[in-house]
Structure 1
Amino acid sequence: MQRQINRWQISLAFFCLAIFLILLMGVVWHLPYIHQLDQWGLQNIREPVTPERTWFFKNITRAGNPIWTGFIALWACFFALIFKKYDIALFVMLNVGIFGLGVMKIFKHFVNRPRPNILHLVDEGGSSFPSGHSMNAMLLYGSLIVLVYYYVKNDPIKYAFMTLLTCLIVTIPMSRVYLGVHYLSDVLAGLVLAGFLLIISKEFIFRYKPKEK
């Protein structure tokens, strides 16, 4: 049985893309709203800097590291291939492997935005826009939310996992602003770009797959 394309989700995907383009233009052309957004982020997410908050966000940010997200993605693909769920393997590798690394690196290279000129609480190199950790968070944990929704039958377990994964998607980008290695516009751009890619890939890879009962 063929599942129809969800028009609402496709609309949401292109809304995310539009937000990304607005942020991209603002960063490239140094428009005032980007400065205002970034200052708000530094004042409301970065401050106050305390040992407790630093400990928390240093640990949270590790869940968005490329090595960790790649490790989780490889294990997910391994089990998907064992159980002959080839659509799952394609979905995860496309999002985490190609989108999470390739697309992110392309934009980082061409935009080449310097990182915030403030104290960095972790060591980080490279350019700032968009945030790779934010893209990794949305693409990996967002993919897992989709898979949990499709394949976990027990509702309490399903929604518990979806809530936990959503918390990671929110707190990992926040950690990058707190730690001083990204502006708020960087992490928002990473989230909405990854959201666009995630929804489009989900709608087309699972185009012919109804929700399993």
Structure 2
Amino acid sequence: MKDMSKIAIVTLIVGFIIIILTMSLFIELAGDVLEEEKFFADRIFQENIVFAEETWIHQMMEVVTEAGSVIFLTIASVILAVYLFFAKKSKWYSLFFSINMVGISLLTQVLKVIFERERPELIAQYGGTGFSFPSGHSTGSIAFYGFIMYLLWKKVSAKWLKWLSVLFFACLAIVIAFSRVVLGVHFFTDIVAGMSLGLAWLITCMIALEFFLWRGRKKRNS
């Protein structure tokens, strides 16, 4: 820790704080779901955000939600993992990206089985099958696009392009999550829990990755 910069230490502390806050939110929602609580927010969003199929918002969300589907994220993850393995000087990027994606997928599926929360509506067309809590589109999108944001932040030199890219992927991940409510296949609390879990897992993987990169640099310089 002594040879770490102040910025690195502050970033590490902020990362742990975010993990604690997001996991606290997830645990709070998870406890209420286990007790079969009815959420006021779920009712409000179901009444005001779920649009009919003929509306342009619904049709747009049909397209957007595919960017968080299992098939798309699986193919995109394999491509990115292979690219990182061959293109980066350190193979840690590919390894921890793979851990990030495989881990969040397994974690999401296990939690779905544990909570067994029924969906508002089962619609296979939009991937709306199986249990509802937490939202797999939300966890997967936060983990995948969040890691892309991390890579862009580290590698893009132009500040305007860095901020624009990060903002774009952040908005995309959030819109994908909310598309699940608009399409009527998830409750609002499903996506909040999914985003919280996905962010906590993402930051955990990023901290672990940065640790191994830092340790590698320390060994080379010693």
TM-score by length of 2: 0.86
User: Which residue does 1:152 correspond to in 2?
Assistant: 156
**Residue 35 (structure 2) pairs with residue 29 (structure 1):** yes
User: Structure 1's 203 and 118: CA in aligned 2 closer, same or farther, altered over 3 A?
Assistant: closer
How far the C-alpha of 1:205 sits from its partner, in A, is 1.2
Percent identity at matched positions?
A: 23
**Residue 12 (structure 2) pairs with residue 9 (structure 1):** no
CA distance in 1, matches of 2:167, 2:59: 22
User: Structure 1's 105 and 37: CA in aligned 2 closer, same or farther, altered over 3 A?
Assistant: same
List runs of 5+ in structure 1 lacking aligned partners. none
TM-score by length of 1: 0.89
User: Which residue does 1:109 correspond to in 2?
Assistant: 113
User: Could you tell me which of 79, 90, 96 is aligned with 2:95?
Assistant: 90
User: Which residue does 2:44 correspond to in 1?
Assistant: 40
CA distance in 1, matches of 2:152, 2:108: 25
How far the C-alpha of 1:76 sits from its partner, in A, is 1.3
**Residue 120 (structure 2) pairs with residue 132 (structure 1):** no
Q: Does the CA-based 8 Å contact 1:134-1:169 persist in structure 2?
A: yes
Matches within 5 A, 1:46-85: 46-47=50-51, 50-83=54-87, 84-85=89-90
Q: Does the CA-based 8 Å contact 1:108-1:129 persist in structure 2?
A: yes
User: Which residue does 2:218 correspond to in 1?
Assistant: none
**Residue 172 (structure 2) pairs with residue 205 (structure 1):** no
List runs of 5+ in structure 2 lacking aligned partners. 215-222
Greater RCO (CA < 8 Å, at least 6 residues apart): 1
* RMSD of aligned Cα (Å): 2.0
Q: Does the CA-based 8 Å contact 1:80-1:86 persist in structure 2?
A: yes
CA distance in 1, matches of 2:75, 2:109: 19
1:153 alignment partner, SS class: coil
Q: Does the CA-based 8 Å contact 1:17-1:193 persist in structure 2?
A: yes
